Amino acid sequence: MNQSDTQLIDKKIETQLHNNLVALRKSIKILSMEAIRKEINNKLDACTRSELEKLLKQLIKWEEDSLDPELIDERVFDED
């Protein structure tokens, strides 16, 4: 197998992966909770440690962004 054959195979693989991601993105709204969890778990299983760390940081940020700053008061723990 020569280099151009290898490049063609690589292009086919990358194109198929891209098409799969596009199809997944389009189908998100119609997937069941179970199917969404399965997709997420499959993606998580393929992550490296650094990717998982980045993802966890993003999840924490999303949760922090959803908090109401008006309701955050560390002094409430001193009232016991």
Tell me what pLDDT residue 5 has. Answer: 87
Which CB contacts under 8 angstroms, 24+ apart, belong to 27-31? Answer: none
Domain boundary assignment for the chain: 9-66
6 contact partners, CB below 8 Å, separation of at least 6 = none
Per-residue model confidence as pLDDT tens digits over 28-67: 999 999 999 999 999 999 999 999 999 999 999 999 999 9
Q: Which helix (H) or strand (E) is 74 found in, with range?
A: none
Q: Which band of pLDDT confidence, cut at 50, 70 and 90, is reported for residue 78?
A: confident
The fraction of the chain above a pLDDT of 90, given in percent, is 80
The fraction of the chain above a pLDDT of 70, given in percent, is 98
**Residue 28's closest CA among 19, 41, 37, 15?**
37
d(CA 8, CA 27): 28
